[in-house]
């Protein structure tokens, strides 16, 4: 029996009446309306969450503002780092519990929840904790002529912006929530998280662990709900920065709201129609396992995953053949079954969206492998390979955010660059070749915020991540996040 037994602590957590986590404790929601949390593998309701009202949001924001001005402001950078490391320890300690909450609510394979989401959350949070004592300004010597006998000096300060609104998507709610928490708390900010209505459980539990880690009440707050709840949060006058991860249309709407709210600063990590280039010298047998993992992890519901394969014509037939055979061998099953290689899509609306694209490809005779929604309980579709007919094809340009990959041959480098850059998006891309000199020549020509060579969908906390064009504004990780979460204050002194 490989179906994972649900922990008693998880059963108890899901049996609760879930409100919001505000000022260090679970509080009842103002509204009686609830949202069902549905297990994507079984389509059964596992629990319910509350819908946050404007009053709920303002309570959370006021709590965050009070903590920012008081308890968190009085916490030294060293102490901030210690507390974040303690929270990372607790994520590790309660990792199985958090992994099961993620899998039961989002359909992520249990081993992906354990070994990717929980494990990476620990690594990233510890990385952020290390930055807490290293956020500094600069000193400089002014260049303008001074009056006789007068001297000048100047320096800069990095100061936290204040209360952050963190809008978290459903695909990796725990890990992306941790990214936002780590960025905010490391720089001295406080945060109100609004997770997706499909994936709120792990962040509600994480907020409890934060109190156990010694993080003061009000520093991390979680208000659950739908789009209106997020809008209330963005429009709050006490919110000084919005960090959003999600779709392009929602990101554009959030950017407009933020600009209309006294020019609230905003960072957006949005979608992509990410491309890979398989060059003529690539060894298909060597690259195939990595390609499969990068493309179909979490059923392709990863913003950085590739959806467009451009393959040199001499390698095209070989890759199509071997990729098709590999996809047909995937064991599709329950996300809580450790034997499953491929689980369900995360929620019903997204299932219908992906099915629409599959139906479109089927109608146009583009299906090479897969292409079916399974006739069984759960939001299951087959991993799918399609052919791109031309660049006007909607499947060429629109993000499916699912296990649907299009493939097209190319012959020249010029044709390849035109195909890769023919997109409104620019999040990630990759080149697969043994000729690094050619890779170095192509890298500057590719319009993407993150580019890999002989790898894809690989994020590291020391490397900045973000998109160009319609794929976003701002960068996460490395030291790049500091710019988004701090204000730069310039000081000049005459003496």
Q: Given a cut of 80, is residue 45 above it in pLDDT?
A: yes
Q: Given a cut of 90, is residue 112 above it in pLDDT?
A: yes
pLDDT at 214: 99
Give domain status of residue 465, yes or no: no
Q: Over the stretch 65-82, which tens digit does the pLDDT of each residue have?
A: 999 999 999 999 999 999
Verify that 357 and 231 share a domain, yes or no: no
Verify that 287 and 366 share a domain, yes or no: yes
List Cβ<8 Å contacts ≥24 apart for 55-59: 55/30, 56/20, 56/22, 56/27, 56/29, 56/30, 56/31, 56/223, 56/225, 56/229, 57/192, 57/223, 57/229, 57/232, 57/233, 57/236, 58/232, 58/236, 59/22, 59/23, 59/27
Give domain status of residue 133, yes or no: yes
Q: Over the stretch 122-169, which tens digit does the pLDDT of each residue have?
A: 999 999 999 999 999 999 999 988 778 889 999 999 999 999 999 999
Residue 338 makes CB contacts below 8 A (sequence gap 6+) with 2, 3, 4, 110, 111
Give domain status of residue 228, yes or no: yes
Rounded CA gap, 35 and 310, in Å?
A: 41
Q: Given a cut of 70, is residue 451 above it in pLDDT?
A: yes
Verify that 255 and 171 share a domain, yes or no: yes
What confidence tier does 2 reach under pLDDT thresholds 50, 70, 90?
Answer: confident
Show the domain range for 134: 8-270+472-491
Verify that 144 and 214 share a domain, yes or no: yes
Q: Given a cut of 90, is residue 326 above it in pLDDT?
A: yes
Helix 119-131 to helix 95-106 angle, to the nearest 10 degrees?
A: 120
Give domain status of residue 217, yes or no: yes
Give the whole-number percent of the chain exceeding pLDDT 90: 96
Give the whole-number percent of the chain exceeding pLDDT 70: 100
Contact 410/418 with Cβ under 8 angstroms?
Answer: no
Q: How many helices (H) and strands (E) does the chain have?
A: 17, 20
pLDDT at 174: 99
Q: How many domains does the chain have?
A: 2
Q: Give the Cα-Cα-Cα angle 173, 181, 262 (nearest 5 degrees).
A: 100
Verify that 89 and 179 share a domain, yes or no: yes
What confidence tier does 1 reach under pLDDT thresholds 50, 70, 90?
Answer: low
Q: Given a cut of 60, is residue 58 above it in pLDDT?
A: yes
CATH number for the domain spanning 294: value is 3.40.309.10
Verify that 76 and 225 share a domain, yes or no: yes
Give domain status of residue 126, yes or no: yes
Mean pLDDT, rounded, of the chain: 98
Verify that 179 and 83 share a domain, yes or no: yes
Give domain status of residue 477, yes or no: yes
Q: Given a cut of 90, is residue 316 above it in pLDDT?
A: yes
When pLDDT is averaged across residues 198-207 and rounded to a whole number, the result is: 99
Give domain status of residue 466, yes or no: no
Contact 440/260 with Cβ under 8 angstroms?
Answer: no
Give domain status of residue 139, yes or no: yes
Verify that 266 and 358 share a domain, yes or no: no
Q: Given a cut of 80, is residue 60 above it in pLDDT?
A: yes
CATH number for the domain spanning 135: value is 3.40.605.10
Verify that 437 and 484 share a domain, yes or no: no
pLDDT at 30: 86
Rounded CA gap, 428 and 421, in Å?
A: 11
Catalytic residue list: 269
**Residue 405: closest CA among 305, 264, 270:** 305
Verify that 222 and 114 share a domain, yes or no: yes
When pLDDT is averaged across residues 434-453 and rounded to a whole number, the result is: 98
Q: Over the stretch 211-255, which tens digit does the pLDDT of each residue have?
A: 999 999 999 999 999 999 999 999 999 999 999 999 999 999 999
Verify that 449 and 419 share a domain, yes or no: yes
Verify that 425 and 437 share a domain, yes or no: yes
pLDDT at 147: 76
Give the C-alpha distances (Å, rounded to integers) separating 103 from 20, 298, 331, 379: 21, 10, 17, 13
């Amino acid at each position: 029996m490989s179906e994972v037994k649900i922990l008693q602590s998880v059963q108890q957590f899901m049996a609760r009446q879930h409100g919001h986590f505000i000022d260090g404790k679970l509080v009842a929601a103002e509204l009686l309306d609830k949202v069902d949390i549905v297990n994507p593998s079984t389509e059964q309701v596992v629990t319910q969450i509350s819908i946050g009202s404007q009053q709920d949001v303002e309570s959370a924001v006021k709590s965050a503002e009070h903590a920012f001005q008081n308890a968190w402001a009085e916490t030294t950078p060293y102490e901030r780092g210690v507390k974040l490391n303690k929270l990372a320890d607790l994520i590790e300690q309660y990792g199985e519990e958090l992994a099961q909450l993620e899998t039961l609510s989002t359909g992520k394979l249990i081993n992906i929840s354990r070994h990717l989401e929980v494990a990476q959350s620990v690594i990233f949070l510890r990385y952020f904790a290390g930055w807490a004592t290293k956020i500094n300004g600069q000193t400089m010597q002014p260049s303008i002529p001074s009056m006789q006998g007068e001297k000048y000096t100047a320096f800069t300060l990095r100061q936290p912006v204040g209360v952050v609104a963190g809008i978290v998507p459903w695909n990796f709610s725990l890990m992306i929530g941790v990214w936002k928490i780590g960025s905010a708390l490391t720089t001295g900010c406080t945060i109100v998280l609004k997770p997706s209505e499909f994936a709120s459980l792990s962040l509600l539990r994480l907020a409890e662990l934060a109190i156990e880690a010694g993080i003061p009440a009000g520093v991390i707050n979680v208000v659950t709900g739908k789009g209106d709840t997020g809008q209330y949060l963005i429009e709050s006058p006490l919110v000084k920065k919005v960090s959003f991860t999600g779709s392009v249309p929602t990101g554009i709407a959030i950017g407009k709201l933020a600009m209309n709210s006294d020019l609230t600063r905003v960072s957006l990590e949005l979608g992509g129609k990410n491309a890979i280039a398989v060059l003529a010298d690539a060894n298909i047998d060597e690259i195939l396992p990595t390609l499969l993992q990068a493309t179909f992890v979490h059923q392709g519901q990863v913003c950085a995953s590739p959806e467009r394969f451009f393959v040199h014509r001499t390698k095209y037939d070989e890759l199509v053949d071997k990729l098709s055979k590999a996809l047909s061998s995937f064991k599709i099953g329950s996300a809580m079954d450790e034997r499953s290689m491929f689980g369900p899509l995360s929620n019903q609306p997204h299932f219908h969206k992906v099915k629409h694209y599959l139906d479109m490809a089927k109608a146009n005779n583009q299906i090479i492998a897969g292409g079916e929604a399974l006739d069984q309980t759960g939001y299951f579709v087959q991993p799918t390979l399609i052919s791109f007919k031309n660049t006007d094809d909607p499947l060429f340009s629109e993000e499916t955010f699912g296990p649907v990959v299009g493939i097209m041959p190319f012959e020249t480098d010029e044709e390849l660059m035109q195909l890769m850059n023919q997109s409104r998006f620019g999040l990630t891309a990759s080149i697969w070749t043994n000729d690094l000199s050619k890779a170095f020549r192509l890298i500057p020509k590719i319009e993407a915020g993150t580019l890999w060579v002989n790898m894809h969908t690989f994020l590291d906390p020391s490397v900045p991540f973000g998109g160009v064009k319609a794929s976003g504004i701002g960068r996460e990780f490395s030291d790049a996040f500091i710019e988004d979460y701090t204000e730069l204050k310039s000081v000049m002194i005459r003496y």
